[in-house]
Amino acid sequence: MEEKRMPLIGERFPELNVQTTHGKIKLPDEFDGKWFVLFSHPADFTPVCTTEFVAFQTRYEEFKKIDCGLIGLSIDQVFSHIKWIEWIKENLDYSIEFPIIADDTGKVASKLGLIHPAMGTNTVRAVFIVDPKGMIRAMLYYPQELGRNMDEILRMVKGLQLSTEKGVAIPANWPNNEIVKDEVIVSPASSFKEIKEREEAQAKGEIKCFDWWLCHKKA
């Protein structure tokens, strides 16, 4: 019997054929070669979810600038999604441009681990950040009563992109870290040879170090 569990960070995003407000698409192939954020919400026509969709939409251009797509999901029919999008446009004057998965059977949510028994049949507020190779790089879970911080999700994508490109780690509150400001962390040395190399790099001004295990540099 096939094991059913939520996918984990570092695993490939499951292959899914889904119905969306933009038609039928296949994941993760639809975003092949680019990053994407899949986020689930409990239900259409609910207060917190409405604020979240407006918040995502206002940052949609910022996501596109870093080559990252957005796609929503809930256990609602596509007709409900469409009507909700129309309501948001008519009443709040925001046009939702990204697709929303209509998972009225709950199969997609079940496969992604988005249904918690204590929450009934509604999907939890979850976020999957997926890289251009279709690998899950980060996951976030929120309770129903707490809306998400979209600036943090945008920051996470930017940080993961930089980490992937430069082979560095991203400090807390980057790019406004209390210790290293907007610089990035150099991976800790794991041998005496690497410690020596860190000292030489520091002498050349290529990196800065508080100690051999805590070095940083400009991105």
Task: List active site positions.
Answer: 49
The CA distance from 197 to 200, in Å, is: 5
Residue 43 identity (one-letter amino acid): A
The CA distance from 16 to 13, in Å, is: 9
